[in-house]
Each structure stands twice: as C-alpha cells, then as structure tokens.
C-alpha cells in the first residue's frame, strides 16, 4: 500500500497543531489562518488515505477497527472545522488536534488484520454507522470544550487571586462565555 497520503496527513496535522499552539501564544491572525489552511489540507489527504484504504480492501472504511478509528478522527476534524468556521474561534484547535492525531496514529500503526467477509448490509445501515460515528465525534468535541471550560474557569479563578502560572496564555484564550456558545452549538449539532 502506498503511504504517501498517510505521511502527508501526518505532516499537515502536525504542522497545523504546532501553528494552533503558536496561535495561542502569539494571537496573530496569520498564524491561525495558516493552521486552519493546513488542517484543510490534512483533511483532504486524510480523506484520500481513507478512500485508498477502502478501495484496497473493497469495503467501507469502518469495516475494521483501524478504519473506524481513522474515520472517527477525520469526522472529528470536520466537526471541529465546521464549529471553527461558524464561530470564527481558532483557539480550540490546539486542544482538538492532539486527539485527532492520536486516533490517526493509532489507526495507521495498528497491525493489519486479514479481511473477513461479512453479511451484506444495505445503504441505510452504512448511513446509520457513519452518522453514529459523526455523533461520537461531535460528542468528543463537546467533551474537549467542557474540559477546556473547566480548566479555564479554574485558572481564571486562580488568576483572580494572583497565584496562577501561565496567565498570559490563559488571557489570550477566548472568553468563558464564548466556550458556552461553542458547547451550545455542539449540543444542537448532535441532536
């Protein structure tokens, strides 16, 4: 199997993650735009890697655990980009990108299992499984947002009393009420 798209996806996701982290520290708009652009590039190459893998196995991407994990990472990235575009808030990318990378790495580093035939399912079943994985991706993103909210709330409480470390980065992260709006969007997206 040709691993060109896998390598390009890893490079694009790693560069995007580093630019999202740099965006947290600098707050420069150009850095955030480049991070988003690299994430779009990573999504494209990730999609092509999924497509080539599905064609090679003559089945859907979620037929095995590796494909399902890779599809979950891809759908998590798509869900995050939709929320980022809707809210125009790039700071969450530094927290979501590691999760996307973990799922992509694990999916591609797991040993391949031999293909086993399964009973044929209809198109409605394929749509059901894909939408279920998309719902899990939206739920994972809402978990990241709620964890981020709790972390920022505790650190802002510590900053108020003057004994927190790394306060400059915390001040550059979006306000707490914006996180509530992002979580509300995720809730609407899931249901």
The number of domains in the chain is 1
How confident is the model at residue 165, as a pLDDT?
Answer: 47
What does the pLDDT read at residue 22? 92
User: In the prediction, which pLDDT does 186 show?
Assistant: 47
99 in a structural domain:
yes
Q: Return the structure tokens found at 46.
A: 């990730």
Question: What would the two tokens of residue 136 be?
Answer: 């899990």
The answer to whether residue 116 sits within a structural domain is no
Rounded to an integer, the average pLDDT of 133-143 is 77
Residue 145 belongs to some domain of the structure? yes
Residue 163 lies in a domain: yes
Q: Is residue 65 part of a domain?
A: yes
Residue 63 lies in a domain: yes
- Identify whether 136 is part of a domain: yes
pLDDT of residue 118: 60
- pLDDT recorded at residue 97: 92
Q: Are 73 and 100 in contact (CB under 8 A)?
A: yes
Query: What gap in Å lies between CA 158 and CA 29, rounded to an integer?
Result: 28
For residue 115, being part of any structural domain is answered with: no
Could you tell me the residue range of the domain that residue 156 belongs to?
4-110+121-190
Task: Tell whether the model's pLDDT for residue 62 goes beyond 80.
Answer: no
Distance CA 180, CA 79 (A): 17
Q: Is the pLDDT of residue 16 over 90?
A: yes
């Amino acid at each position: 199997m040709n691993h060109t798209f896998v390598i390009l996806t890893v490079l694009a996701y790693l560069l995007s993650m580093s630019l999202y982290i740099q965006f947290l520290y600098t707050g420069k708009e150009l850095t955030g735009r480049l991070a988003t652009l690299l994430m779009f590039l990573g999504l494209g190459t990730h999609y092509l890697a999924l497509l080539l893998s599905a064609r090679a196995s003559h089945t859907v991407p979620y037929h095995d655990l590796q494909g399902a994990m890779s599809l979950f990472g891809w759908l998590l990235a798509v869900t995050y980009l939709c929320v980022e575009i809707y809210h125009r808030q790039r700071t969450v990318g530094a927290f979501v990108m590691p999760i996307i990378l973990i799922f992509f790495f694990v999916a591609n580093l797991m040993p391949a299992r031999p293909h086993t035939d399964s009973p044929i399912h209809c198109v409605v079943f394929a749509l059901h499984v894909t939408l279920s994985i998309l719902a899990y991706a939206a739920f994972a993103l809402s978990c990241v947002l709620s964890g981020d909210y709790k972390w920022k709330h505790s650190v802002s409480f510590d900053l108020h009393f003057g004994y927190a470390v790394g306060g400059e980065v915390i001040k550059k992260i979006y306000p707490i009420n914006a996180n509530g709006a992002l979580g509300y969007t995720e809730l609407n997206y899931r249901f």
